[in-house]
Amino acid sequence: MSNIFTRMKNTVSADLHDWMDDKEQKNPIAMLNQHLRDSEKEVEKIRKMMDRQRRLRDEFTKEFEHASYMQEKREKQATVARKADEQSLYDFATREEKQYEEQANKLQASLTQIKESLDQLEVKYRDMKHKLKDMKYKRMELMGKENMIRMNNRMNQILSSDHQEPSKRFEEIDRYMETIEQRVNKEYEHYSFDEKIKNLEKEMKHEA
């Protein structure tokens, strides 16, 4: 029975991967956007983990400094009690000195682990940030290429003899421009003719 479920699981997984590969080939930018969103979520998770590690580091540092301070304090107090021949005070001071020393050692070991973990997270965080930038640059590059392909396809459609509608529009524009040019030239000729007649009339009046 377990083998059947395993085969079913592998089949579904293979079908899913095939579907994703097919989708990626048809729309690579959409898949890249999905990868970007997933990567951004992972980067955010690591950032939150780093924040928690920093808070732990600060708390352990504070406790370690307190334990170290108390160890040194009890050590000095034990010296004073020994010189004063106060056995009970000396015993109390030395007992607590050892307890604080053990605490400080444990805290220091934990603090070292936390710092190492934080360093690893910071390296991973920087790497993922760089990869995220690379993916964004890749998306920009793909979008630029896609725009160029669409533009070239559109221009080919317009200029292709198999597509008459765009060609007809260009022909109509050409005919319209020719009509405007003819009308303007005709109007200019009329205007020029009228101006010449006016000038002749003025000259004839002046001579008379």
pLDDT per residue over 134-148, tens digit each?
888 888 887 777 778
Task: Sort 125 into a burial class: Cβ within 10 Å, 0-12 / 13-18 / 19+.
Answer: middle
The Cα angle at residue 194 between residues 188 and 200, in degrees rounded to 5: 135
Instruction: Reduce the DSSP state of residue 163 to 3 states and report it.
Output: coil
Q: Indicate if 170 and 150 belong to the same structural domain.
A: no
Q: In total, how many domains does the chain have?
A: 2
Q: Give the residue with greater pLDDT, 193 vs 114.
A: 114
Q: Indicate if 171 and 129 belong to the same structural domain.
A: no
Write down the residue that tokens 């969103």 correspond to. Answer: 37
Interval 110-125 mean pLDDT: 91
Q: Indicate if 112 and 177 belong to the same structural domain.
A: no
Most confident listed range (19-33, 75-89, 157-171): 75-89
CATH number at residue 140: 1.10.287
Q: Is the pLDDT of residue 177 over 60?
A: yes
Q: Indicate if 197 and 153 belong to the same structural domain.
A: no
Query: pTM of the entire structure?
Result: 0.52
Mean pLDDT, the chain, whole residue set: 79
Q: Indicate if 148 and 175 belong to the same structural domain.
A: no
208 CA to centre of own chain: 89
Between CA 90 and CA 74 the distance in angstroms is 9
Q: Indicate if 62 and 118 belong to the same structural domain.
A: yes
Q: How many residues make up the chain in this entry?
A: 208
